[in-house]
Structure 1
Amino acid sequence: MAYIFADLHNHTTASDGDFSPGDLVALAADMGINVLGVTDHDTLDGLDPALDAGKTYGVEVFPGVEVSVRFKREFFTGTLHVLTYFSSALLKDPGFVTRFKTLLAQGRGQGLVRARIEKINQVFGPGGESPLLSRDLNFEDIAAYSDNASRRHFAMALDEKLGISDKATINRIIGNDSPAYLPSGVELEQVKRFITSEPVVAVLAHPAAGSFPGEGHYKEVLPPVETVAHLLPEILDAGVKGLEVHYPGHAPEHKALLLSWAQKYDLLVTGGSDCHDNANRPVGASGADEQEFNRLKQEVLCAEKKSR
């Protein structure tokens, strides 16, 4: 395995990783990694313990969050991820932390439930585009079942609260192919407002992983790189300043393509392992070199300085 200076994309038990923040930092230290990005999905909860562990093990922990961004376009309905990096000093700023958590809350949990209800009513409500409901679905219909509602709870509410028992009709309303389907994540416009007004630096995560040839744990349900290319102008307009080029799920030809995009648009180049476990997605599988990391770090420090 090649030497990795900065592995800038990793997950802990604060989201969906197998390792606690401290254990992840210890692993990185054992591998000789100088800088470890801790970037859990849509949460800041793992950052303070990771930073503490970094001091213990002599690893520079670089804080970030992998923000889920939802898209609903004619050519793509799904989620892309934006790695949002910032200075560790900002974790001591209650205003920044509250504003970040408020943004993230819109993409999961109650925020996402409310957005999905609004979309279902817009399409299938009595005054909607394709009326199927006897009345609008409301938040209380779903909240009666769970604080963390899933598709199953929506199906139960449609059956028990609105009298729709036909499974095909329910699936038409809440299935992935439904015109009312909203993937998880926050709207790009919400992300734009945050990253253009807060001292953060945003990088598009694994832009070409969806085009990785064959099967792989890094591919997941990401769109092909051609779809990302179609969305790229919107993404850059939202304030994204970099691309995660070095990634285990990027084929060589796609890595070359991403480097050409970075050069064309003067974007930061980063890299990371997207570690979730020690077997299929280990730490130290990919990363940025020292020069690439220093350019990113300089941007983060400049953003923090401007905000003072």
Structure 2
Amino acid sequence: MVQKIFADLHNHTRASDGDFTPEQLIKQAKTLGIKAIGITDHDTLKGLENALLAGKKYEIEVICGVEVSIRFKRSYFTGTLHLLCYFRTDRLLDDLFVKGFHDVLARGRGEQLVRLRVDEINKNFGPKSNAQILKRDLAYEDIATLSQNATRRHFAIALKESLGIIDKGIINAIIGNDSPSYLPSGVELDKVFDFIRKNQLLAVLAHPAAGSFPGKGHYKEVLPSLEIVERILPEFINAGIHGLEVYYPGHIKEHQDLMTSWAKKYHLIMTGGSDCHDGIERPLGVKGISESEFKVFKEALA
């Protein structure tokens, strides 16, 4: 049976990797009796204007947000954690705010990320490195000529066609997840919090325990274990995080209780959401917060 909730604060539309348009998602929220819905697409604000229009149409309160990918490269963890960044609706009318947010997000994807990955490969495998596997440095143009949305496949093609590396094992050693050159997508934590502080965003650590979800499904995806998140948590606390996503489909009761204790310990607000991407594997209306918890959230947002 679907959990009866007041606000579902974590959902995705076609603006990132969801199956539904903003209007379709908000129409579903109306059908489910949800009073407020957070639209938090990955690293983009593009679906929010249409979401707000749909919210007025269906009389659903829309909470504007972005799920920001935060990049980590540690000896014990190389990957991303996610930060739900919420802000007031009127900020969308501020062109400087919107442009500034897009500029921050652009650091974690696209050209800027490709250039950083090229630098890492040259540092570890270029002619001036200890390995000296590449006869010349890999150039950004080697990748850009193949695609404006470069993936690992394009790096492999460039290493083969531009630098003459045929051995698949060597290519994997250069671009694989275990490579010292591997750089995950996302923005560095300090860069994000510079923007959060200046613009008074409400920052919530998304699904902290989902990487340790014991069941099947998509909720844990490629997220790190709870032990790693707990090790990194002080960095988020020191940066000035405001909340924890306690209620989440990939959090079993044990995790939910632990997240609640963390929230109390660090004086953080508690949020929740379904992380909706589709109608079957990750549907809307599975998790969320009560009306009283939503009032606390709104006070913090204001």
**Aligned amino acid, residue 71 of structure 1:** F
Pairwise CA distance, 1:225: 0.7
Report SS of the residue matched to 1:54: helix
Structure 2 equivalent of residue 185 of structure 1:
186
Structure 1 equivalent of residue 117 of structure 2:
116
Structure 1: 5+ residue stretches without partners: 302-308
The number of aligned residues is 301
8 Å contact kept, 1:83–1:204:
yes
**Aligned amino acid, residue 291 of structure 1:** S
Normalising to structure 1: TM-score of the pair?
0.96
8 Å contact kept, 1:141–1:157:
yes
Pairwise CA distance, 1:129: 4.3
Pairwise CA distance, 1:214: 2.8
Normalising to structure 2: TM-score of the pair?
0.97
Residues 199-240 of structure 1: per-residue CA shift (max 9 Å, x gap):
211100000011111322211111111110000001122222
Structure 2 equivalent of residue 204 of structure 1:
205
Pairwise CA distance, 1:13: 0.5
Structure 1 equivalent of residue 289 of structure 2:
288
Structure 2 equivalent of residue 70 of structure 1:
71
Distance 1:130 1:263 in 2: 49
Comparing 277-286 with 105-114, greater Cα deviation is found at 105-114
Structure 2 equivalent of residue 128 of structure 1:
129
Comparing 30-39 with 134-143, greater Cα deviation is found at 134-143
1:75-114 superposed matches below 5 A:
75-114=76-115
Distance 1:124 1:194 in 2: 34
Aligned alpha-carbon RMSD (Å): 1.0
Distance 1:192 1:50 in 2: 26
Report SS of the residue matched to 1:156: helix
Is residue 2:46 matched to residue 1:9? no
Structure 1 equivalent of residue 44 of structure 2:
43
Is residue 2:261 matched to residue 1:260? yes
Distance 1:290 1:150 in 2: 43
**Aligned amino acid, residue 244 of structure 2:** L
Question: Identity rate of aligned residues, in percent?
Answer: 59
8 Å contact kept, 1:189–1:238:
yes
Distance 1:195 1:3 in 2: 32
Residues 251-271 of structure 1: per-residue CA shift (max 9 Å, x gap):
110111111000000001000
8 Å contact kept, 1:66–1:81:
yes
**Aligned amino acid, residue 280 of structure 1:** E
Residues 135-193 of structure 1: per-residue CA shift (max 9 Å, x gap):
21121110010100111111111111111111111110001110110111111121121
Residues 71-109 of structure 1: per-residue CA shift (max 9 Å, x gap):
111111111100000001000000000010001111111
Report SS of the residue matched to 2:170: helix
Structure 2 equivalent of residue 172 of structure 1:
173
